[in-house]
Amino acid sequence: MGFSRSKHDSTETEFIVEPATENEAPTSSSVRISEEAERICKILSNQPNLNNTSCLDEAGVTVCPTLVAEVVKKLGNAGMLALVFFRWAEKQQGFNHTSEIFHHLIEALGKIKQFRLIWSLVDFMKHRNLLKKETFALITRRYARARKISEAIETFVKMQRFGLKPELSDYNCLIDIISKSKHVDRAQDIFNEMKRRKRFTPDLKTYTILLEGWGHVRDLSSLKAVYREMIDEGFKPDVVTYGILVNAFCKSGRCDDAVKIFHEMEANNCKPSPHIYCSLINGLGSAKRLDEALKYFELSKASGFPPEIPTYNALVGSYCWVMKFEDAFRVVDEMKSCGVGPNARTYDIVLHHLIKARKTEEAYEIFQRMGSDIGCEPQLNTYTMMVSMFCSVERIDMALKVWNQMNAKGILPCMHMFSALINGLCFENRLDDACRYFQEMLDKGIRPPGQLYSKLKETLLDGGRRDLAVEFGLKLDQLRKTPLRG
């Protein structure tokens, strides 16, 4: 698994550098698979009884490995539903076990921390000769995101016991995963120890992974130390290295230093990539240095690279930072005329800034427009922003309306979305509704954060409903302690 640039969550929409993606037209077969997967997700998500799969039999679902993989992937935020569907699909004609299906299932189960079940799947995959290094990388990543760093490292060690010998790319993958989990100090320790014991010889990618990690946590002194070591080891910075440095300084609010690096790479005959222009536009835009952001946008257009959606999105964000929303939409119109987007991310950027400015009506108007632009249909992040927005301004009925629109499209809510809605319902003292959605959250195998249960419990106790507070506490404890069975 190679080096990749980081994306940020929806909560960090004010500064993001997106990797370039090619606009490939989906085939008719992939469209059919996607539509059928959406239909299945809608059927499952609307079932009150989690284990009732007769609805799938009645719906006339015909399985194939590609469809099963797509459904399990779409159910990634609902690990229990993903497992229920997988067990049903196993019994159907046309089903075959594939690594891809298991990988999506591991991802879904990892999100609800069902690691014991994941390892039973690994044993099954071994007997079917389906294990890959990617399997262990996925498990390592899920452990890291669950803040189980020791277990993440142990997973890498276990990979060797299953007959998969690690290479340099695998060591790089491990360091990358630990680093991206914001435990860069542990990643640095792994690097130092592996290098000391001569378990591997680092390459340029190894150093760029560490540079990106230190940049992500905005520790510029450690970043500079790694950079000096990289130079001392005889490595010359390439365009990826420069891109990481530019992005790190921009994220840390050191845009002038980022510009110096840009000029340094030009002096070293290293042509800036679209990613670097994107970083500078994002950084200068978020610093409200609009004129300079516009300058680098024009430079990017003159650089010979075809225009890309992430670069345009960075410009849209730059206008939004200074509240020039009309200019932002002028850029959106330019994107359409050039045949470069927009995409859902474009609208999410505008929505983020409108919501931040408490322009609720304008944000909802933009949200309603999204579906009319091809490729801009609201995604989970979009729905989460809208539900959170309406809850924050005490318009729960509108939040529920958006929630129901999302459900109708077969998009499953995430933990953050449940939390926003349940907290909003508690604030409005709509306890029956709050309890219903909390129960739905548990039914889908989504673990509520401790603060959410504490808030609900407090509201229930204040309302004289101690029995229900205790009941939810027991259910939550059971979800935490009882592993699912494969």
470-480 pLDDT tens trace = 888 888 877 66
Q: Specify whether the CB–CB gap between 293 and 324 falls below 8 A.
A: no
What is the pTM for the complete model shown? Answer: 0.83
Give the number of other CB atoms < 10 A from CB of residue 83: 24
Cα dihedral: 385, 391, 394, 397 (round 10): 100
Q: Cα(38)–Cα(32) distance, rounded to whole angstroms?
A: 10
What mean pLDDT do residues 446-468 have? Answer: 87
As given in the structure block, the two tokens for residue 275 are 């990613």
pLDDT 10s digits, 96-144: 999 999 999 999 999 988 999 999 999 999 999 999 999 999 999 999 9
User: What's the pLDDT band for 77 if we cut at 50, 70, 90?
Assistant: confident
- Specify the domain boundaries for CATH 1.25.40 within the chain: 413-486
Q: Specify whether the CB–CB gap between 318 and 294 falls below 8 A.
A: yes
Task: Give me the pLDDT at residue 138, please.
Answer: 97
Task: Give me the pLDDT at residue 188, please.
Answer: 97
Q: Cα(279)–Cα(285) distance, rounded to whole angstroms?
A: 10
pLDDT 10s digits, 386-445: 999 999 999 999 999 999 999 888 888 989 999 999 999 999 989 999 999 999 888 887
Residue 304, Ramachandran bin (φ over 0: left; ψ between -120 and 50: alpha; else beta): left
Q: Which of 308, 390, 339 is nearest to 382 (CA)?
A: 390
- Residue 305 makes CB contacts below 8 A (sequence gap 6+) with 273, 274
Cis peptide before 342 (omega within 30 of 0): yes
Residue with tokens 């067990």: 87
pLDDT 10s digits, 285-298: 999 999 999 999 99
User: What burial letters (b/e) apply to 296-314, b meaning 16+ CB within 10 Å?
Assistant: bbeebeeeeeebbbbbbbb
Q: Specify whether the CB–CB gap between 429 and 445 falls below 8 A.
A: no
Q: Which of 375, 432, 423, 371 is nearest to 399 (CA)?
A: 423
Q: How far apart, in Å, are the Cα atoms of 117 and each of 92, 123, 448?
A: 22, 10, 20
Task: Give me the pLDDT at residue 216, please.
Answer: 95
Q: What CATH code is assigned to 413-486?
A: 1.25.40
Give the number of other CB atoms < 10 A from CB of residue 127: 8
Q: Cα(248)–Cα(6) distance, rounded to whole angstroms?
A: 11
Question: What percentage of the chain reaches a pLDDT higher than 90?
Answer: 69
The CA-based angle 10-1-484, given to 5 degrees, is: 65
Q: Cα(75)–Cα(332) distance, rounded to whole angstroms?
A: 32
Q: Cα(37)–Cα(168) distance, rounded to whole angstroms?
A: 37
Q: Judging by beta carbons within 10 Å of its beta carbon (0-12, 13-18, 19+), is residue 150 exposed, middle or buried? A: exposed
Q: How far apart, in Å, are the Cα atoms of 239 and each of 7, 38, 42, 275, 301?
A: 19, 40, 44, 9, 18
What is the CA 92 to chain-centroid distance, rounded? 32
Rg (CA), the chain: 24
What is the CA 481 to chain-centroid distance, rounded? 26
The overall average pLDDT reported for the chain is: 89
The residue with greater pLDDT, 260 or 32, is 260
Q: Specify whether the CB–CB gap between 411 and 37 falls below 8 A.
A: no
- Residue 134 makes CB contacts below 8 A (sequence gap 6+) with 1, 99, 103
What mean pLDDT do residues 63-80 have? Answer: 93
pLDDT 10s digits, 3-56: 233 333 333 333 333 433 444 445 678 888 988 998 998 888 877 676 678 888
Q: Cα(304)–Cα(73) distance, rounded to whole angstroms?
A: 37
The residue with greater pLDDT, 299 or 442, is 299
Q: Which of 339, 331, 332 is nearest to 23 (CA)?
A: 339
Amino acid at 366: I
* H-run or E-run covering 126: helix 115-127
Q: Cα(34)–Cα(28) distance, rounded to whole angstroms?
A: 10
- Residue 383 makes CB contacts below 8 A (sequence gap 6+) with 402, 403, 405, 406, 411, 413, 417
Q: Cα(426)–Cα(428) distance, rounded to whole angstroms?
A: 5
